[in-house]
């Protein structure tokens, strides 16, 4: 996967739910800087963490991923 830009939709889902990075950091016991990196796609959470994020946000894990089907 050459282009890793925009792999996840965490920032979008947080905005849709009117939640903040700080709120998510508190729910996951992670630093705000880590959440920021995930939201800006400078880093990606592990699959295990992505599942935890989905549970906290009450969404399906696939809702946190951007489709690459059309690429």
Domain map of the chain by residue range?
A: 10-64
> Taking residues 7-15, what's their average pLDDT?
95
Residues 6+ apart with CB under 8 A from 63: 9, 13, 54
Pick 39 or 4 by higher pLDDT: 39
pLDDT tens sequence across 16-66? 999 999 999 999 999 999 999 999 999 999 999 999 999 999 999 999 998
The DSSP line for 38-49 is HHTTSS---HHH
Answer yes or no: are the C-beta atoms of 13 and 64 closer than 8 Å.
yes
The pLDDT of residue 7 is 87
**Helix residue ranges per DSSP H, the chain:** 10-16, 21-28, 32-39, 47-57
* Residue range 10-64 in CATH 3.30.2450.30: no
The pLDDT of residue 68 is 67
């Amino acid at each position: 996967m050459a282009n890793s830009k925009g792999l996840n939709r965490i920032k979008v889902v947080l905005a849709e739910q009117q939640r903040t990075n700080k709120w998510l950091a508190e729910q996951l016991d992670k630093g705000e800087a880590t959440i920021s990196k995930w939201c800006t796609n400078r880093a990606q959470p592990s699959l295990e963490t992505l599942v935890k994020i989905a549970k906290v946000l009450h969404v399906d894990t696939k809702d946190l991923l951007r489709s690459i089907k059309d690429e």
